[in-house]
Structure formats: C-alpha cells, structure tokens
Amino acid sequence: MTNEIARIAVVGAGLIGQRHCRAVQIADGATLSAVVDPSDEGRAFADSIGVTWFAELSDMIAAGAADGVLLATPNTLHAAGANMCIDAALPVLIEKPIFTDIAEGRDILQRADAKGVPVAAGHHRRHNPLIARAKQSIDDGDIGQIVSVQCSTWFMKPDYYYDVDWRRRKGAGPIYLNLIHDIDLLQFLCGPITEVRAIESNAVRNNEVEDTAVVLLRFENGALGTVNVSDTIVAPISWELTARENPAYPATNEACYWIGGTNGSLSLPQLGLWTDNGAQSWWQPISQVKLIHGFDDPLVRQAAQFAKVIRGTATPVVTGKDGLAALSVINAVKEAAQTGQVVDPRL
C-alpha cells in the first residue's frame, strides 16, 4: 500500500488515546479509521468525532478496519494487544512503557521480527525536530567528546493526582511514569547506558511509590550522567515545563538537560550551544549560539511517521527494542534504589 492513506485504529481512548486520535486525524498520510475502547466514555468519544467504534481489538481486527494500530491501553494490556496485532500482521505503535516484563517483551519483539511486522514505541519526544537537531550537533562534534550529562525532571503533581489508587502503588511513581521518556532521550543522544546507581525517597508524599529519586549513570562511551527526578518540587526544570510540546503545561524558559563535552556544552530544550572557540581554558570567555530548529507537534509527527511505517516506506524512528531498552533502564533504577547495588541495564 505504498501510496495509499494508512488507516490507523487507536486502541484505548483515555487521556493520551484521545490526543492520539486528534493527532492521527491531522497527520499527513494517515486517517483515523476506528476507535477501540470498551468503556461508555470511549464509545461516546468515538461518536463525538464520527469514527467507527469497536469494544474490543479482536472485533476491529476481524472487521479489517485498520492497516495499523496505535495501542494506548493501560500498561498491563500492551503485551496482549501487541500479540493480537502481530498475529494479524498489523504494524503496531505501543505507548510507553512498551511492556511491563522484559523477557515477555523480548519474546514478542522476536516474534514480530520473525513475521516481519514493524513494532514502534510511543516515545513521541523523539519526533520533536529539536531532538533531531541536538543529535546532529552532537554527531557533528560541536561539543566534542561527551563527558557528562545533567537531567532534571522536577515538577509538582497536585495532591488530587494521587486520589487514584494505582498511582500510589508499585509500577507507578515518577520513575516509571515520567522518567522513562527522559531516559529514552538520553540514550538516543548519548548512547546506551551500562551502569545505574540510584537512591529514592517517599518522604514527602509517603506513598508506596517514590516521590523523588537521584540516579547516577555511566554510558557505553564513557560519559557519566546525573538524573534528578521529583514530582513534589515546585520548579521550572522538566521537559514537560520547558519543551512546549503540550499546551496543558505552562511553559518556562529554563533548561532541563545539559550535555557537556570537551569542546562545548548544549542545553535542552533551548539548544544553546556554549563553546570557547578552541581556547580550552576557563580563563577564556565562552559564548553561546542558539541552534535553529523547526517546531511541530511531536504526536502528529509520530502519527505521520507511523503511517509511513504502515505503508512500508519507512522503519520506526523509535523501535520496539528502543522502548524495551528504556524500560530496562527504568527497571534498573528501581532495582538499584532498592538494593543499593550497581545494575547493568543492557538487554
């Protein structure tokens, strides 16, 4: 179907699924052909946007209503949904965390590979044009050899966010729910992570899950990194509050990542590139240029890219394996925090 419009079904029309539906509707080369969600709200939403509704993914597949599937169901349903899509030879884009279990995820991805079915992971930030520009700058050697990385993920979730029970329990918390996106970006920009050390705390909210964690990273290329995550700090430094990807978050002008190298350093999301014109001395002045990049909604770009994957004209920008690699680092952060050990997250 190289030249055709790709028909995409969104499965799970909740918080993020509804945003995916709108993104698919305006993405180049894609059309929203079905909404799958057993809830009354899901059906009402499908009706409200005039799109065919199915209660179950199996019904949608039996009806042949899509060429590809965007899975935005709760985490524990990702594996079953992915298996159904692979059996039906339907390319599938799976929201993060791609799976809940690494071994099961590996098996599913192997089966998909064997059947030639593309699997993409929903780390949409990677579709932000500024990330491609940052990667190009690093690959061009603008900052030299990467030495160290600082990542801040500080924000304040309102208390009522935790009125929902599962959000207070194991498997939730800002490490699993939020940091996984930052980890995907850090691995994309700086390479695979090989060592994880971490400490965590729940001293403010007293939930079963952490409210705060500090993480030390070592990358395969020798670079080091620190990550500081908390959902109980009033602060302007997180991707959510700086990157202007989602208008729901009031934006600030601060940097949340700094990537430091032997020739310069790069701030994100500003893409401020600081260099000393080769002086290599702290006695010499350093100056900043701002790298230019386009702006486009990453969710819409992700949907358009997935449409190309469905049409067979592109491979996923964020592969299923990338999604599993990010999950493995997140699992390592939790393990390291709980055991005090150094954990190797490589798959």
Ligand X SMILES: NC(=O)c1ccc[n+]([C@@H]2O[C@H](COP(=O)([O-])OP(=O)(O)OC[C@H]3O[C@@H](n4cnc5c(N)ncnc54)[C@H](O)[C@@H]3O)[C@@H](O)[C@H]2O)c1
Instruction: Name the residues that contact ligand X, by CB under 6 A.
Output: 11-17, 36-39, 42, 57, 72-75, 77, 95-96, 122, 124
CB of 73 to ligand X, least distance (A): 5
Q: How far apart are the C-alpha atoms of 123 and 188, rounded to whole Å?
A: 11
Run of H or E including 152: strand 146-154
Task: Give residue for tokens 């386009």.
Answer: 294
- The Cβ-side half-sphere exposure at 304, using a 13 Å CA radius, reads 12
Residue 98 burial (CB count, 10 A): 32
CB of 189 to ligand X, least distance (A): 18
Instruction: Identify which of residues 91 and 97 has a Cβ nearer to ligand X in the complex.
Output: 97
Instruction: Identify which of residues 14 and 191 has a Cβ nearer to ligand X in the complex.
Output: 14
Sign of CA dihedral 279, 280, 285, 286: positive
Instruction: Identify which of residues 38 and 312 has a Cβ nearer to ligand X in the complex.
Output: 38
**Cα R_g (the chain), whole angstroms:** 21
User: Alpha carbon 293 to chain centroid distance?
Assistant: 20
Q: How far apart are the C-alpha atoms of 32 and 54, rounded to whole Å?
A: 13
When CB distances to ligand X are compared, the closest residue is 14
Answer for the pair 231, 155: CB distance below 8 angstroms, yes or no.
yes
Instruction: Identify which of residues 56 and 208 has a Cβ nearer to ligand X in the complex.
Output: 56
Instruction: Identify which of residues 75 and 128 has a Cβ nearer to ligand X in the complex.
Output: 75
Q: How far apart are the C-alpha atoms of 123 and 345, rounded to whole Å?
A: 18
CB of 9 to ligand X, least distance (A): 10
Residue 237: strand, helix, or coil = coil
CB of 309 to ligand X, least distance (A): 17
CB of 342 to ligand X, least distance (A): 28
Instruction: Identify which of residues 60 and 146 has a Cβ nearer to ligand X in the complex.
Output: 60
CB of 105 to ligand X, least distance (A): 13
Q: Do β-strands 146-154 and 257-261 pair in parallel, antiparallel, or remain unpaired?
A: antiparallel
